[in-house]
Amino acid sequence: MTLNVRSLSSALAALGLAGAALWPLQAHALFEDDEARKALIELRNRFDAHRQATESTLSRLRDESREGSVTEQRSLLEMANQNEQLRAEIARLRGQVEQLTQDVAQVQKQQKDVQAGVDERLRKVEPATVNLDGREFAVVPEEKRDFDAAMALLRGAEFGPASASFGGFLKRYPSSGYLPSALYWLGNAHYANRAYKESIASHRRLVTEFPDHLRTPEALLAMANSQIELKDTKAAERTLATLLKNHPNSEAAAAGRERLARLR
């Protein structure tokens, strides 16, 4: 647009100079002729009007050119400002996303910790199924822990502490599924500690309350051994006879026959 305006300005300027140069000659030649004079005046007026219109057009074009440049600069500035605002907004949103990610990770960790704590508490109170001496029964974790602790003492040949531990277990859990097994091992701990009367009492309770238990034949044989240690041969013979009668096919009965034969 700038080149067109300049070209148009140059053309108009040349036209103006040409008109000015011709004017004295035309005026001298046509001065006496009224019609020619009127035509010359009309031509001059038309030339002036055309020049004014052209100058107005040039001025308008120059203004539009300047306005277009300013508008373009303003648009570029506005775009730059918008880009800067967008970058700032993106940075702000990115920061929020990072913070939210950290918050979510923290909440997930807390949930896992809470769940782990709940699971741990449930494990401490939820019953567990135990298979022992041919029986299946449910026990709470603390009950199982105490029984296992007493057995560990017995296996370690700590007969006195084992006796105390089994005795405490029977008081704390009088209806436990471990009861017949605890009676049997308590009797064995007493026997190993040479507390024969206590051993007989524990084994007798097992035989009386749980006659069909897997450990009952062994308890009868152990009772007879304690009675022999106490020099109560008659009582030992009766106990062995009961063993052979009630549990003739047990391993304890095979040992009981030999023991009974020696007593007689």
User: Looking at residue 132, which CATH number applies to its domain?
Assistant: 1.25.40.10
Measured distance CA(201)–CA(217) in Å, rounded: 15
Residue 134 and residue 256 in one domain: yes
Question: What's the pLDDT score for residue 10?
Answer: 53
Estimate the crossing angle of helix 233-246 against helix 251-263, to 10 degrees.
150
- Is residue 117 situated within a structural domain? no
Do 133 and 181 form a contact (C-beta atoms < 8 A)? yes
Look up residue 154 and give its two tokens.
């017995």
Model pLDDT, residue 214: 97
Domain housing 235: 128-263
Of 84, 102, 120, the residue that ends a domain is 102
Looking at this protein, which amino acid is placed at residue 59?
S
Whether residues 74 and 194 share a domain: the answer is no
Quick one: pLDDT at residue 6? 52
Q: Closest Cα to residue 166, out of 184, 191, 192?
A: 184
In-domain check, residue 122: no
Q: With respect to residue 116, please indicate whether it lies within any of the assigned structural domains.
A: no
Q: What's residue 118's pLDDT?
A: 61
CA distances from 249 to 70, 236, 257 (A): 116, 19, 11
pLDDT at 59: 78
119 located within any domain = no
Residues in the chain with pLDDT values less than 70: 1-33, 65, 67-71, 117-125
Question: What is the pTM for the complete model shown?
Answer: 0.56
3-state secondary structure of 128: strand
Number of domains observed in the structure of the chain:
2
| Residue 86 and residue 148 share a domain | no
Does a structural domain hold residue 113? no
Pairing of strands 128-132, 135-139: antiparallel
Same domain, 74 and 176: no
The owner of tokens 């024969």 is 196
